[in-house]
Structure 1
Amino acid sequence: MWLGKLPANEELAFRWGSLTGEKRIVRSSYGGANPWRDFPWLANAYLDGSLKLDEYVTSTIGLADINDGLARLSAGEEIRSVVQF
């Protein structure tokens, strides 16, 4: 199985043998979302209060604290850390 993402205008070459044997290539961007439709819908849902995001932010950290933040997330001590630049 191969997984990756390239810009839509870039070419990608495969060896022919790697594509045989009932294998499929499935491309997905944004998890299958339609950005033109879904991003404004999500933004509006957040702004009108029906999409609760702030409740999931458990800390705001600086870039220098990124490793500590990832360790706390991995240990289950936090839900979401926001990196403030």
Structure 2
Amino acid sequence: MTSRKKSENLSFEEALKELEQIVEQMEQGELPLEQALQQFERGVELTRLSQNRLRQAEQKVQQLLQQQGQSELVPFSEEPPK
């Protein structure tokens, strides 16, 4: 195993931080092709992990709301209230 933690042991925040570092490295455009491909693959893995962590958090919130008598989540509006 490399110095990176195994993906399943990463928190959402750790995965996001590593993903941001990968994006920064790749945007610089100085990585050799093989290393860029490895970083891209790791980025895909971290993206999937992050999406799963968010999905799990959403399910937990839904369960908690159901326990409190609310049956569904209301989508967050990007527009400020009028």
Q: Whose strand fraction is larger, Structure 1's or Structure 2's?
A: 1
Which structure has the greater CA radius of gyration? 1
TM-score, normalised by the number of residues in structure 1: 0.27
TM-score, normalised by the number of residues in structure 2: 0.27
Q: Whose helix fraction is larger, Structure 1's or Structure 2's?
A: 2
